Amino acid sequence: MLFNSIDFAIFLPIVFILYWFVTDKNLKLQNFLIVAASYLFYGWWDWRFLSLILFSTIVDYTVGRQLRNEENQLKRKILLWTSILVNLGFLGFFKYYNFFLDNFVTAFAFFGQDIQANSLNIILPVGISFYTFQTLSYTIDVYKRKLEPTKDFIAFSAFVSFFPQLVAGPIERATHLLPQFYTKRTFDYSKAVDGMRQILWGLFKKIVIADNCAEFANQIFNNSADMNGSTLVLGALFFTFQIYGDFSGYSDIAIGTSRLFGFDLMRNFNFPYFSRDIAEFWRRWHISLSTWFRDYLYIPLGGSRGGTWMKVRNTFAIFIVSGFWHGANWTFIVWGALNAIYFLPLLLTNNNRNNLETVAQGKLLPSIKELSFMILTFGLTVFAWIFFRAENIGHAFSYISEIFSTSLFELPNFSSMRRALITISLTGIFLLIEWLGREGEYAIENIITFFKNNIVRWGIYIIIGLSIFIFGNFNKTEFIYFAF
């Protein structure tokens, strides 16, 4: 079920009414309603894959219970690896089976050995990368004794399948989200209003910015051989704002929806395109995944505590694995490696934690130095996104080679250029609003709070709503990260 669909517009108020007016007297019943609603939400896409979520839930719940009273370290490790292998086994089969098979065949062909192997027509379950990592956080934290294993199967099922963030995050830690299912929730009007406000902004990002940018990004990338260099730059910029509007828009809707039900989810985006270096960018982009890899991969590998070689190795490990997490394509691996290359000079010179505060905090405009570093970081990010979006490595290099040709100095030109100018203008307005609201949790949080007059605030809501209906792209485009 898509957030930007009529189905969800009907589904959400029904669940909201049942949650607060029918099951509000019984915590376990509330949690059961969340599980039922979450399974309906996910099953709307393909009910067959509900068995994967249920099986993963049962396995990790059982492993957690067994770890509770097990003191033998060998047996504890066996239990932990049971959870890891089951979860990553499902993820590996559905997401990477054909990738490894094709590369295996190609490798043997390179040495003159032809192997006959048939790929499988595998459908990737939506959100499997997200809920797999979420439930793994539970098992790992219980193993490390950072979290008491739950005895409440319904609460644990609700944690694993919580519908607002089930299919595209944020990837919640068990230590943060699971305890929220143990305590009675009471309706908080101010929290609900804030949630609706964030949902509205998320829908604007998705329907007005991301989906309109997607139309032109797809046209340019899919026909890149016929485009000049300046048009290809424009295509890369369209994709840059498509992926940000799409993914951060989803996170805004997920976080806002959770607030309607009395839950707090972690922040997933913090205005990443205003970053002054790549390290800051990765502290602000897909925060739930970055911190997951930091805590469960980077630090266990030794983090930055060792010598230069260990720092380089661990940095490449976390970025390449992050790239591979996004999909079974060499383009994602190159994208991850490229970001590691960007990051290494900062790490090796101990400058990776220089920019911890919001840029130009308390000021209207950045300094010339800040602006220069923001433009440089943004340019490096746009360049890396070309690999992320390209169909394959060859496509990426041909795309880039045409950018760095004499045609770069020609005017952009493609069939929808006039309509694209409207999207460019809307994106410019969007960037301005994001800049003005960059010190809030989301862009319009502080802007709305600044206006005390109810008429002015409602006027802003209406303008955003009308913008969605007038300029929105209502083709029910799936969120990009559903594919990951």
Phi-psi group of 451: left, alpha or beta (phi > 0 → left; psi -120 to 50 → alpha; rest → beta): beta
Amino acid type, 314: N
Which one-letter amino acid corresponds to residue 483?
A
d(Cα 354, Cα 408) in Å, to the nearest integer? 34
Question: Burial, 105: exposed, middle or buried (Cβ in 10 Å; 0-12, 13-18, 19+)?
Answer: middle
C-alpha to C-alpha distance for 112 and 6, rounded to whole angstroms: 55
201 touches 252 (CB < 8 A) = yes
CB 108 within 8 A of CB 117: no
Which residues are catalytically annotated? 326
Q: Are 251 and 202 in contact (CB under 8 A)?
A: yes
The identity of residue 53, as a single letter, is I
Amino acid letter at 18?
L
* CA distance linking residue 257 with residue 164, whole number of Å: 6
Query: The tokens 């007059």 sit on which residue?
Result: 453
Distance CA 416, CA 227 (A): 13
Helix (H, G, I), strand (E, B) or coil at 99: helix
Can you count the helices (H) and strands (E) in the chain?
Answer: 19, 0
Q: For residue 357, what is the DSSP state? A: S
